[in-house]
Amino acid sequence: MARENADLIVRNVCLLAPIWKSGACAYHNIQQFSQLHLTACISGLLITLVATMHSGESPLSAIHLIWVNLIMCLLGGLMMVMELQGPELLTQKPAKRTESLITKVIRRNIAIQVSSQASVLLILHFMGNAVPGMDQGIRNTMIFNTFTLCQVMIVEFGKGLVSGVRLNALQWLICFLLAALSWV
């Protein structure tokens, strides 16, 4: 009688394995997105806070932070629909229901990334005047591009929106190198 009145009847338990694996994959993707997004938000706010408190001006404006958040949300949307393939899917362990979404390992990774990004970009902000030919506009654009590249995106096409100036090849190379420090 219960089978006749049930909306969902599971006759073969083996059919639940792909659903269970997809759930573990989605949970893992949410954790990774949370780590990326928290890193971008905290480091952007820390850079803005320290630079504003020290010099009264910030190299990252509200538009810059909104732009990077938009990019991160687009990346996050793509990340959420990605599925692990092959051996990655088999080694993915399900999370315990009592475990926090942001684990100690993720908190440690966020702290390391935030401190490295903030220190590199604040050094560029405070020591940028010592480099010949680098005025405030170039320095702020390099800081924004490096900050964005630290979040794994290039924003050359958005320079009109965020009032940046065109960088030469050497300045772009410096941005890439500084951003690569956070990838290590």
Those residues with Cβ within 8 angstroms of residue 52's Cβ, 6 or more apart along the chain or in another chain: 58
Is 145 within 8 Å of 175 (Cβ atoms)? yes
Confidence of residue 114 (pLDDT cuts 50, 70, 90): very high
Question: Rounded distance, CA 54 to CA 46, Å?
Answer: 12
| Domain assignments of the chain as residue spans, ordered by start | 14-91+101-183
Q: Quote the crossing angle between the two packed helices 104-127 and 169-183, to the nearest 10°.
A: 150
| pTM for the model | 0.68
Tell me the Cα Rg of the chain. Answer: 22
**Mean per-residue pLDDT for 158-163?**
43
Question: Rounded distance, CA 158 to CA 79, Å?
Answer: 22
Could you read off the pLDDT of 53-94 as tens digits, one per residue? 998 888 898 898 998 888 888 777 766 666 555 555 556 666
How distant, in Å, are the alpha carbons of 60, 71, 128, 150 from that of 66? Answer: 10, 9, 24, 15
